[in-house]
Structures are given as C-alpha cells and as structure tokens.
Structure 1
Amino acid sequence: MARDAAATRERILAAATDEFSAHGLAGGRVERIAAQAQCNVRMIYAYYGGKVGLFDTTLAEALRRMAENVPPRPEDLAGWAGDVFDHHQHFPEVLRLSMWAQLERPEALAEPREVYQNKALAVATAAARPLSAVDVLVFIYAIAQAWQLSPKGLTALAENPANSHGIAARRQSVVTAVERMLQAQS
C-alpha cells in the first residue's frame, strides 16, 4: 500500500492541534499525537524535525487559516470584529494555541508579523483616526477574544453561557463596542 505523505501530514497537524491546544508544548506528547494521527513517531520527526518544529508548524498553520477565514474588512471593522468573535467560538483551539505559545514559546509568534502588518495597513488605509491602526487592531482582537479568555468560573455565571441566544448577544456586544470605539475616534 502506497503512503500518502500529504494525508499523513494533515492527520499529524490535526492531532497536534488537539494535543497542543489542550496541553501546550511542554505537556503535549508526541506519542499521543502519533497514535491519534495513526502514524509512528518517526514520521513526526521526519516531517517536522521534532516536537518544537511540530508545535511551530501547528501554530503557524492555525494562524494562517484564521487569516484566510477572517480577513480584515476595513470598510466594516465592527462586522469584522464579530467575524473574529465567531471564529473563536467555532475554533477555540486557535486562541488556546496562541496563548500556549505566548507562555512557552513567544519566539514562535514572531512568524505571523507579516499577517498583522497587512491587517494594520488595511485598517490604516480605511480611515484616518487618532488611534494608530495597531491600536485599533489590538482593541478589536481584545474585545472579540474576551469571552474565550475569561476565567471559566466567571463565564459559568452567565445563564446558559453556550446557548445560541447568549452567544448572539455577546457577539452583538462585540460589534457595538467596536462601533462605539470607532465613532469616538472620528
């Protein structure tokens, strides 16, 4: 039976996303990744050079997919903030991977700088504001990610925190907060 290297790499990245988002780099186990990906540990080392290389690739791929799935909309930054909120609701592992990287491997986060520069340029060309484009982006990300980053003990206080009505209300709050921030900057 012929091997399909691309399919093996995809299975490894999917398994690594699950493992590293749950346990981080230090707690992630290559053996568990290999078992979930239905490959052997040698394949992981052959394709990624080791656990650190696999973590970096997993993080870069997750951030690349997010950039593709949720490109900035300079003409509707508030709507884009809602899209970022939605992305984190549907793919919380991306934010968890980013948080683990900030804690355990901050040098891995330098890679998407170009992506953020492109977003900042798009925001900067949308309209002149007293806040810099980077400040606007940081604000949008902070608001859009706040629910996912809040302590579970706090979010558990919300009545039915996972129901669609509550999620829709939180999304609308994100959009409204960004709209008001942009109006204040006009």
Structure 2
Amino acid sequence: MARDADATRARILAAATDEFAAHGFAGGRVERIASRARSNVRMIYAYYGGKSGLFDATLSEALRRMAENVPPRPDDLAGWAGEVFDHHQRFPQVLRLSMWARLERPEATAEPSDVYRTKALALATAAAAPLSAVDVLVFVYAVAQAWQLSPEGLTGLAENSDGESGVAARRRAVVTAVERMVHARL
C-alpha cells in the first residue's frame, strides 16, 4: 500500500493541534501525537524536523486557516468581530495555541506576521480613523477573544453564562462593543 504523505502530514497536524492546545509546547508529547495520527515519531521528525518545527507548523497552519475562514471585513468591523468570536467558539484550539506560543515559544508567534500584515492592509480603509489599521485589528481581536481569555470565575458571573443563550449574549456584546468603537470614531 502506497503512503500518502499529504494525508499523513494532515493527520499529524490535526493531532498536534489537539495535543499542543491542551498541553502547550513543553507538555506536548511527540509520541502521543504520532499515536493519534496513526503515524510514528520518525515521520514527524522527517516532515517537521522535530517538536519545535511541528509546533511552529501547527501554529502557522491554525492561523492560516483562521485567516482564510474569517477574512477582515473593513466595511463591517462589528460583523467581522462576531465572526472572529464564532471562529474561536468553534475552534478554541487556535487561541490556546496562540497563548501557548506567546508563553513558551515567542519566536513562533513572529512567523505568521505576514497573515496579520495582510489583514492590517485590508483594514487600512476602515472607517475607524484616526486609529491605525493595526490598532483596529488589535482592538477587534481583543474584544472578540475577551470571553475566551477571561477567567471562568469572572465569565460565570454573567447571566445565562452557560448554553447557547449565554454564547449568543456574549457574541452580541462583542458586536455591540465594536459597533460603538466604529461609531465613536476613536
């Protein structure tokens, strides 16, 4: 049976996403990734050069997919913030990977700067002046990610904090905050 290198790489990245999101770089185990990917450690080293290369590739792939799935919408920043919020609800691993990278491998977070640069350029025409495009990008991400990054002790204080109605209320809060920022023309 012929080996499908692309399928093997995809399985490895999927397993690595779950492993590194749950345990970070230091706690992530290449052996567990290989086992979940129905591969072996040797293939991980062959494809990614080792654990650090795999982590960096996993983070880059997660951020690239997010950029493709949730492109900036300069004409509707509030709607875009809601979509970023939705993406993090569906794929919490992306934000977790980013946080682990910031804590354990800051050199890995510099790699996808081209993705952010592209988004900032797309936002350069946004009506939120005099904020710079980068300021707008940071603000939208900060607001859209706030619920996922806040301690459960705090978010649990919100009415209907659990279930679909709680998620819908948090999404509305994100969209409203960005709408107000845009209308205030900070």
Same fold (TM over 0.5): yes
Q: 1:41 to 1:89 in 2, by over 3 A?
A: same
Q: Alpha-carbon deviation of 1:128?
A: 6.1
Which residue is equivalent to 1:52? Answer: 52
Secondary structure of 2:75's counterpart equals: helix
Q: TM-score scaled by structure 2? A: 0.96
Which residue is equivalent to 2:108? Answer: 108
Which residue is equivalent to 1:132? Answer: 132
Deviation per CA, 1:68-91: give whole Å up to 9, x if none: 000000110110000000000000
Q: What amino acid is aligned across from residue 36 of structure 1 in structure 2?
A: R
* Alpha carbons 2:81, 2:175 under 8 Å: kept: yes
Find the aligned partners of 1:125 and 1:32 in 2 and give their Cα distance: 45
Find the aligned partners of 2:163 and 2:25 in 1 and give their Cα distance: 32
> What does residue range 31-180 of structure 1 map to in structure 2 within 5 Å?
31-127=31-127, 129-180=129-180
Q: What amino acid is aligned across from residue 139 of structure 1 in structure 2?
A: F
Which residue is equivalent to 1:17? Answer: 17
Q: What amino acid is aligned across from residue 117 of structure 2 in structure 1?
A: Q
Secondary structure of 1:126's counterpart equals: coil
User: Mean Cα displacement is larger for which, 141-150 or 121-130?
Assistant: 121-130
Unaligned runs of 5+ in 2: none
* Alpha carbons 2:20, 2:55 under 8 Å: kept: yes
Find the aligned partners of 1:32 and 1:154 in 2 and give their Cα distance: 33
Q: What amino acid is aligned across from residue 56 of structure 2 in structure 1?
A: D
Deviation per CA, 1:52-83: give whole Å up to 9, x if none: 00000000000000000000001101100000
The alignment of Structure 1 onto Structure 2 pairs a total of residues equal to 186
Find the aligned partners of 1:184 and 1:77 in 2 and give their Cα distance: 13
* Alpha carbons 2:128, 2:136 under 8 Å: kept: no
Find the aligned partners of 2:53 and 2:162 in 1 and give their Cα distance: 35
Find the aligned partners of 1:5 and 1:78 in 2 and give their Cα distance: 41
Q: Alpha-carbon deviation of 1:178?
A: 0.3
Q: Once superposed, what is the RMSD of the aligned Cα atoms?
A: 1.3
Unaligned runs of 5+ in 1: none
Among all aligned residue pairs of Structure 1 and Structure 2, give the percentage whose two residues are the same amino acid.
79
Q: 1:38 to 1:92 in 2, by over 3 A?
A: same
Q: TM-score scaled by structure 1? A: 0.96
Find the aligned partners of 2:85 and 2:38 in 1 and give their Cα distance: 33
Deviation per CA, 1:13-65: give whole Å up to 9, x if none: 00000000000000000000011111111010011000000000000000000
Q: Alpha-carbon deviation of 1:134?
A: 1.0
